[in-house]
């Protein structure tokens, strides 16, 4: 029996890709299906594992190619919090992040938008690309209670 739960309607994914000038191949639809099932912060490895959870069908090179293409087309956004680890964030609305330095967990902070207001003038001949705010947090030492 082959009962897979489709977390997102494939046609919707296909449309999304087309809307971004991306030919919807089966591999790309699979990857997109994982990224857009819900707002998520996955690194390439996690996408690779998830995309091949049932059976190994998408190569690592393709996962990287696809993620790179999605980034170039503005479908997802990269978040850098640690050396040697890139997160791919499927939430494209302007928002920022909490990064738990202990667990490595990344969570959204939405509608902050404050940093943009009081931004100093940009250097000459440059324009704004994006603003990344990363709030690093750590687990509290519980000194009082046990």
Partner DNA sequence: GTTAGACTTAGAACAATTCTAAGCCTATAA
Partner DNA sequence: TTATAGGCTTAGAATTGTTCTAAGTCTAAC
End-to-end CA distance of the chain: 50
Taking the complex as a whole, the smallest distance from the CB of residue 139 to DNA amounts, in Å, to: 21
Extract the tokens encoding 129.
Answer: 């690309």
Check binding of 114 to a copy of itself (CB under 8 A): yes
From the centroid of its chain, how far is CA 104? 14
Q: Which of residues 67-86 bind DNA (CB under 7 A)?
A: 68, 83-86
Q: Based on the number of CB atoms within 10 Å of its own CB, is 77 exposed (0-12), middle (13-18) or buried (19 or more)?
A: middle
Among 71, 85, 106, 144, binds a copy of itself (CB under 8 A): 85
Q: Which residues contact 4 (CB under 8 A, 6 or more apart)?
A: 54
Among 4, 118, 144, 145, binds a copy of itself (CB under 8 A): 118
Check binding of 23 to DNA (CB under 7 A): yes
Pattern 26-55, binding to DNA, x per CB under 7 A? xxx--------------xxx----------
């Amino acid at each position: 029996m082959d009962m897979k739960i489709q977390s997102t309607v494939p046609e919707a994914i296909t449309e999304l890709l087309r809307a971004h000038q991306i030919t919807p191949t089966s591999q790309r639809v699979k990857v997109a299906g994982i990224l857009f099932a819900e707002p998520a912060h996955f690194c390439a490895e996690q996408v690779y594992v998830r995309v091949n959870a049932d059976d190994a069908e998408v190569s690592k090179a393709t996962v990287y190619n696809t993620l790179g293409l999605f980034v170039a087309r503005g479908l997802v956004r990269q978040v850098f919090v640690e050396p040697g680890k890139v997160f791919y964030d499927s939430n494209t609305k302007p928002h920022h992040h909490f990064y738990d330095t202990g667990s490595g967990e990344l969570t959204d902070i939405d509608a902050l938008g404050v940093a943009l207001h009081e931004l100093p003038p940009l250097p000459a001949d440059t324009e704004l690309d994006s603003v990344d705010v990363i709030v690093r947090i750590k687990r509290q030492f519980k000194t009082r209670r046990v």
